[in-house]
A and B are shown apart, each in its own frame.
Chain A
Amino acid sequence: MEDIVNITVVDRQGEEHTLEAPTDMNFNLMEICRASELPVEGTCGGMALCASCHVYIHSDHILSEPSDDEEDMLDQAFYVEDNSRLGCQIKISSAIDGLKVELAPVGE
């Protein structure tokens, strides 16, 4: 189907999960992970205010630039790398079909 994309999520134990996500429901990656019962808290509900959905991008998809809010939150997060993003700020769209991400370690 056209309006479903596949996303690979590597969990913190290194196990790969292939998730199917609809593009027409305004979901973000954090919500898709939570719906699939992956250990992503999404404490703040998706406002880029908690970094509990911190992921590393492992595929070469071109994503929208992180907003100031997202950068600000990443400044307060730990284990941040160049390919760090917040899952809640990644919209599920056809542009990210085949995206591969890894869940970042959970800090305190």
Chain B
Amino acid sequence: MIQTDILIIGAGPVGLFTVFEAGLLKLRCHLVDALPIAGGQLAEIYPKKPIYDIPGYPSVLAGELVDNLMEQIAPFNPGFTLGERAEEIKEVGEKMYQLTTNRGTVIQAPVIAIAAGLGCFEPRKPPIPGLDKFEDKGVDYMVKDPEKFRDKRLLIAGGGDSALDWTIELADIAQEVTLIHRRTSFRGALDSVDKVMELAKKNKVNLITEAQATGVSGNGVLKEVTIKTKSQGEFNKEVDNFIPLFGLTPKLGPIANWGLNIDKNAILVDTRDYSTNVPGIYAIGDINTYDGKLKLILCGFHEGTLMVQSAFKYIYPDAKLSFKYTTVAGVNGFEDQKLA
């Protein structure tokens, strides 16, 4: 079990910077994120986009900002649990919460800071009637272990890098791979497009363009996918597995069940300290809402900064907190990764 002072849900820019502000108050942090990497949307969705409204940076690439934040918080040795979704929280004592992830990691802390942005990223699921009935029974939204598909007949849908890359890789493993895509051209990395085209020419991949999957059927397990094409209309194709790869989309997920006041997929907070209606639980960054809220990274930095002051007083009600500028006191990190 992991123990810390502030458990931060979401390792996006706001969660990361909060580690710094908490560290100045000698509070240790542990971050949990459903994505396998730190940085949230900045790392997953737009690492190469320039951001122009970070104070002091006329322009900074989103990915670069994440790298800088990681460097800035390094002295405070935060813990990370990545690739796991915060699933359930419960109170396990006075001022002590326990969080369990979807993979069973358990973390205890007196304070939880939810910095989950738009929620956790989950595969975008095509709106095909009945598709959910075949999840894990022939329908997979990601490829975790290519061996699972050995000697199977696969239908992959999508036109991005992951659809192309998996088509190439699985072509050698599966009995048959069919790729369907809504256009004739692909946007993925050039060499993977070329490779797929080559495989299609050699009949190693069955490429169907200007097409989409519109139906699924089977008896308990997936048997057929209905494909609609511009030129041939609708037809059914027998497959063992259907793998729709349409990127990721954020979902509020389990946070919705934690008894917090929620308005339009965002957590209502008190702007004095970004506390929620539940003592010891705070919400900062894009995930919160209040009168005048702006979803900006710089606003999230401010929110995290004020939040840790309140968290300190909540954890140590009798301790005196004197605010010190980093220009005066410097940055005194934690020497080891010993958990609080």
Contact = CB atoms under 8 A, between A and B. Distances in A.
Interface residues of B, number: 21
A50 B160 CA distance: 14
B46 A76 contact: no
Contact of A47 (B49, B127, B247): B49
Given A44-B45, A72-B187, A75-B187, A108 B118 contact: no
Nearest to A73: B247
B158 interface: yes
Given A72-B187, A80-B182, A108 B127 contact: yes
A47 B46 contact: yes
B126 interface: yes
Given A71-B183, A76-B246, A76-B247, A43 B118 contact: yes
Interface in B181-213: 181-183, 187, 212
Nearest to B118: A43
A75 B158 contact: yes
Nearest to B248: A76
20 contacts: A43-B118, A43-B250, A47-B46, A47-B49, A72-B159, A75-B183, A75-B187, A75-B246, A76-B158, A76-B159, A76-B160, A76-B247, A78-B124, A78-B126, A79-B127, A80-B212, A105-B127, A107-B127, A108-B124, A108-B249
B90 interface: no
A53 to B, nearest CB: 14
B45 A49 contact: yes
Contacts of A79: 127
A68 interface: yes
Interface residues of A, number: 19
B313 interface: no
B130 to A, nearest CB: 14
B223 interface: no
Nearest to A71: B187
Contacts of A68: 187
A75 B247 CA distance: 9
Interface string A72-91: 10111111100000000000
A89 to B, nearest CB: 15
Contacts of B295: 45
A107 B187 contact: no
B302 interface: no
Contacts of A108: 124-125, 127, 249
Contact of B249 (A47, A50, A75): A50
Interface in A44-59: 44-45, 47, 49-50
Nearest to B49: A47
A32 to B, nearest CB: 19
Nearest to A68: B187
A54 to B, nearest CB: 12
